[in-house]
Amino acid sequence: MANCIIAQSGGPTTVINASAAGLFRKNEEVKYFENVYAGINGIEGILNKKIINLSHENSEDIKHFMNTPSSGLGSCRYKMKGYEIDDSEYKKLISILKEYNITTFFYIGGNDSMDTVAKLSAYMKENNISINVIGIPKTIDNDLPITDHTPGFGSAAKLISTIALETYLDASVYTNNGIFILETMGRDTGWLAASACISKLYGHPVADFIYLPEVAFNGEKFIKDVAARFKEKNQVYIVASEGLKDSNGKFLSELGTSSGHDNFGHAQLGGVGSFLKNIIINSGITKRVKALELGVIQRCAMHLASKTDLDEAYRVGEKALELAIEGLNGYMAAIKRVSENPYVSETFPVEASKVANSIKYFPSEWINKENNNVTEEAFNYIAPLIEGSVSLDYDKYMPKFKVFSK
């Protein structure tokens, strides 16, 4: 019998480990691979032979690993060159995989990771190498095309909508309330910021305004809208994506600053809440303005994970194994929404090359005419994805988590 290997890449999510656990447990059931290996720190770790055998781990550890937030196998932001330019790393990787008798490489990740899946699978095919490469989706940004949504988004949406409701209540306790700004992640798309539309109190949305990267930010209109709402209510609640840009395509958070970039050339964002706070204060509306940047908590809050999200993450892991059994190469396990009410989804294969380096933007028809909030269609799309709570095992006061390393 041959072996397989699984690794994680890119930014973590709350439920990313459930996909690895789903694949592992499905293999235990069907016994297709003799051993399920794991690369620690993604493809970068595999190239450095940081490899462990998950098949030697006990079932309790796998259970706690499944319910552990963030990348329990470690991650990386490692970009392989095109093999047409330099195939030395491809040859090295293949040599290592053959050493472990690995015939399938599973890679959990987002846009850039699916690019790696597409490159590797194409190289294998062109060189008649009998190693298949299969992608498993994850990203809290929910920006992968073709799949209805991505594992990780539902839990992030649940965290954001819950925090929005709680902070709205906190910001509403005085007779003279101010303006509260909640900043979410989302470099290119507004899915995360839009998820705050789920937050309602007595049937009414708590967010007065939701601003997404899909619409160029208009500072004059922003101040006009906020001033009018503040005059009306003596309180304004704003949700803004970190990826807001001006009409020239410049990130608001980069204006007047020098921002770093990761290995894929993506700007390191954060700080749009402070930018909006400053222009509100400078406009003279009020000095009572607070801004909260949620940051990485959006991708590692297992205490607020969505059971639906965890279950679907598990199922795409199972589906990935099924794709391997079918002998597919260069495919990703995706999610299809079958029914809205009751919510039902299923998994299906899609070519990784059709997902790689592409972005699924928040639909323009789900943005209101004023470009400062979202429609009921957004609520109906997001709501089912945050349903259910995850039951965790505890060791006295703290949840039991499990990560692997070498």
Just list the catalytic residues.
Answer: 141
Instruction: Report how far residue 394's alpha carbon sits from residue 399's, in angstroms, rounded to the nearest whole number.
Output: 4
Instruction: Report how far residue 96's alpha carbon sits from residue 308's, in angstroms, rounded to the nearest whole number.
Output: 37
CA distances from 59 to 25, 62, 180, 210, 402 (A): 9, 5, 45, 44, 12
Cis bond before residue 342 (omega within 30° of 0): yes
Residue 3 CA from chain centroid, whole number: 28
Which residues are paired to 345 by β-bridges? Answer: 337
Residue 193 CA from chain centroid, whole number: 13
Sign of CA dihedral 149, 153, 158, 162: negative
Q: Which helix (H) or strand (E) holds 164?
A: helix 153-170
| Phi and psi at residue 391, to the nearest 5° | -90, 125
User: 219-233 vs 272-283: helix axis angle to the nearest 10?
Assistant: 70
Instruction: Report how far residue 39's alpha carbon sits from residue 109's, in angstroms, rounded to the nearest whole number.
Output: 13
